[in-house]
Amino acid sequence: MGRIIKPVIVVVILLLVLAIPALAVVARSYILAPVAQPAKAQPIAFPHSIHVNVVGLDCTFCHRGATTQADSTVPALQLCMGCHAIIPTTDRPQLEKLVNAFNSGTPINWTRVHQLPDHVHFVHAMHINAGFNCATCHGDVASMAPGAVVQVRDLRMGDCITCHRENNAPTDCSTCHY
């Protein structure tokens, strides 16, 4: 009996060691994938739902760069205050944070939800002008809980390339990498 156990243990250990790369790949695809990440903490629990569903704003009302340039951009507090100057903040602690930040002249540092590596150059304008909706990549942001926007699409190279191929968009490396 003991003579069999020894080689079996060795083989099992060897298999475990050899499985590490495979495990790493699996982990990268599932556990560590961008879409598997929990919602990130934000300085203000911003409710996209109210702004889109109740007020009826278009995404590009605030994310003004999306139609014309690479970055979609987050708005300056001045833009928020265009409306919020007349909206009472009583019993609305999140709103109070905004007004305080504006009055004290402190910029708000949001946590980035979608972050591409430095060697990837994504241009919002090209995609919006090709007729894609924001939701194609960002999902239904309006239905996400306040301050809990998550990444719903993989947005790694395989995802990009697949979509580019389906839509006959350039797949040359230099399109995105330089």
Partner 1 sequence: MRRRDFLKLVAASGAGAVVFTGCDLSQFGDGDPKREFQIQSAVDNPQDFALGRDLWYATAYSGVSGGSGLIVRVYEGRAKKVDGNPDYPLNMGRSTALEQSLVQELYHPDRIGGPLKLKGDRGSGSYSALAWDEAQNEFNSMITAGKGSTLLITGPVSGSEAAVVDQFTKAIGGQHVTYEPEERIVLREAMRRVFGSEHLPAFDLGNAQFLLNFGAEFLNDWISPVHLSIGYGAFRGGAGGKRGRYWHVGPQLSATAANADKWVYINPGTEGLVALSMAQVMTSQGLVDKGAASSIYNGISLDDYSPDKVASKAGISADQITEMAKTFAGSKPAIAMAGTSAAAHTNGLFNLTAVYSLNYLVGSVGAKGGVMLNPDSPLPDVLPNMTSGTSFRDWKPIVDKIKSGGTKLVLVHDANPVYGLPPAVGLKDALGAGTKVVSFSNFLDETTTQADLVLPTLVTLEDWGLHVPDPGPGYPTIALQQPVVKPFVDAKSFVDLLIGAATTAGGSLPWKTNEELVRTVVGQLQKAGGGNITGVDDPKEYFVTVQGQGGWWDTSKAAAAAPKAPSKPTNAAEPKFDGNGEYYLLPYPTNSLSYGEHSHLPWLQALPEPISTNVWSTWVDVNTSTAKKLGVETGDIVKLTSSAGSVEVAVYMNPSAPTDVLLVPFGQGHVIFSRYAEKRGENPFTFIAAQTEAETGALAWAATKVSIKKANKKVRVPRLEGSVPAYQLEEFPIIEVEAAE
Partner 2 sequence: MAQAVAHRWGMTIDLDLCTGCQACVVSCQAENNIPINTEENFQQRRAIEWIRVERYWEGEFPNVKARYIPVPCMMCENAPCEPVCPVYASYHTDQGLNFQVYNRCIGTRYCSVNCHWHVRFFNFWEPKWPDSLKQQLNPLVAVRSRGVMEKCSFCIQRIDHAEQSAKLQGRDVKDGDFTTACAQACPTRAIVFGDLNNADSEVAKTVASTKRGYQLLADLGTNPAVVYLKKIDADPLPEDSKHKYFDSSQYTRAKETVAVG
Interacting residues toward partner 1 by CB under 8 A: 10, 13, 16-17, 20, 23-24, 27, 31-32, 37-43, 65, 69-80, 101-102, 105-112, 115
Residue from 105, 119, 166, 168 touching partner 2 (CB under 8 A): that is 119
Give buried/exposed letters for 89-125 (b at 16+ CB in 10 A, else e). Answer: eeeeeebebbbebbeeeeebeeeebeeeeeeeeeebe
Total residues in contact with partner 2, by rule CB under 8 A: 16
Using CB atoms within 10 A of its CB, is residue 138 exposed (0-12), middle (13-18) or buried (19+)?
Answer: buried
Q: 40 in helix, strand or coil?
A: coil
Residue from 126, 135, 145, 161 touching partner 2 (CB under 8 A): that is 126
| Residue 173 within binding range of partner 2, rule CB under 8 A | yes
Residue 155 interacts, among partner 2, partner 1, none and using kind-specific CB cut-offs from 5 to 8 Å, with: none
Token representation of residue 56: 């009826």
- Region of 20-28, 40-48, 54-62, 170-178 interacting with partner 2 (CB under 8 A): 170-178
Residues 151 and 169: their CA atoms lie apart, in Å, by 23
Residues lying near partner 2 in the complex (CB under 8 A) are found at: 68, 117-119, 121, 123, 125-126, 129, 170, 172-175, 177-178
